[in-house]
Structure 1
Amino acid sequence: MKEPAARSLVLDSQALSLLLRSDRQMITRIEATRRVGVPVLVSTLTVVESVCGKTDGARLRWTLSRLQVQDVTQADSLTAVRLLSDAGGLHGHKYAIDALVAAMALRSPTPVLVLTSDRDDWAKLCGDHVQIKDV
């Protein structure tokens, strides 16, 4: 059975990093998603995690203007704590950003597709509540 089309696309730090580095495959994927009206979401935390010293500020601002940048909420922090606990007591020090981004993904219109390089972390935190695609 075919999975339903995503209604939200969430980028993790590696996916956003590829976009910021003008990776042709990632650009094509994001533009195709936007053309069909699916929002491309990124957490404010992911922005900070993705930027390195070589990131061009103008490129960063232009890229973010084409995405829906989501703030972290108090509800997200409580959801993240629960996700860490439910995943076997993962430690917030190591998994804090992933857990907060996962909380954002879980409040997004479903089904949610996550582009990530950390499939195992997302599977631990979200189980089958999101679709995971490797970048």
Structure 2
Amino acid sequence: MGRRRKGVAPRGTVVLDCDGLSRLVDAEHKVVAFVQECRKLGMRVAVSALTIIEATHAGTDRKRLAWLLSGMHIEPVDDSAAHLASKLLQANGLHGHTHAIDAVVAEAAIRQSAPVVLMTSDLDDMTTLCGDEVHLIRT
């Protein structure tokens, strides 16, 4: 998997949700090919720090995950991100108990360098949270 050269401005961003990251770690052809194509186009690949937690389980290939993450931008979840994600939930009538991680991922996607593509398994919630600001691709 190619890496973006340091010092080169990204031409947009692809964000992976839990399903996207999990499928990339599992080397699913569709996701690997999509991420490779995005990198060829000069796009930055990003994940929320919470996505890493959500996608990790007992069967995760930790070495492959670490290698993949070394070539990605990891969006931290600080107090500002938490407040903005909370506002997204409130503005869309959703509850944090069910949609907290989706809101954090959506908030991170909205802040990325445009154009932004979010690879997700949850088109309904992400459409609600991201609106027209982010192009969604189903994993």
The reply to whether TM is greater than 0.5 is: yes
- Secondary structure at the residue paired with 2:81? helix
Establish whether residue 62 from structure 1 lines up as the match of residue 67 from structure 2. Answer: yes
Q: Could you say what the CA RMSD is over the residues aligned between the two structures, in angstroms?
A: 1.1
Match of 1:53 in 2: 58
Match of 2:125 in 1: 121
Per the TM alignment, residue 124 of structure 1 is displaced from its structure 2 partner at its CA by 1.2
Deviations 1:92-132 (A, max 9, x none): 01111110111111111122110000000101111111111
Per the TM alignment, residue 77 of structure 1 is displaced from its structure 2 partner at its CA by 0.9
Match of 1:3 in 2: none
Per the TM alignment, residue 54 of structure 1 is displaced from its structure 2 partner at its CA by 0.5
Once residues 102 and 128 of structure 1 are traced to their aligned partners in structure 2, the CA distance between those partners, rounded to angstroms, is 12
Match of 1:83 in 2: 88
Once residues 69 and 81 of structure 2 are traced to their aligned partners in structure 1, the CA distance between those partners, rounded to angstroms, is 21
- Secondary structure at the residue paired with 2:98? helix
Match of 2:32 in 1: 27
Of 36, 42, 52, the match for 1:37:
42
Name structure 2 gaps, 5 residues minimum.
Answer: 1-10
Once residues 77 and 107 of structure 1 are traced to their aligned partners in structure 2, the CA distance between those partners, rounded to angstroms, is 13
Once residues 23 and 71 of structure 2 are traced to their aligned partners in structure 1, the CA distance between those partners, rounded to angstroms, is 15
Match of 2:76 in 1: 71
Per the TM alignment, residue 73 of structure 1 is displaced from its structure 2 partner at its CA by 2.2
Once residues 46 and 92 of structure 2 are traced to their aligned partners in structure 1, the CA distance between those partners, rounded to angstroms, is 24
Aligned amino acid, residue 105 of structure 1: A
Deviations 1:28-80 (A, max 9, x none): 11111112210011011001111121112111111111211111122111111
Return structure 1 stretches of 4+ with deviation > 4 angstroms. none
Q: Tell me the number of residue pairs that the alignment of Structure 1 and Structure 2 aligns.
A: 129
Aligned amino acid, residue 87 of structure 1: N
Identity across the alignment (%): 39
Match of 1:99 in 2: 103
Of 85, 109, 113, the match for 2:113:
109
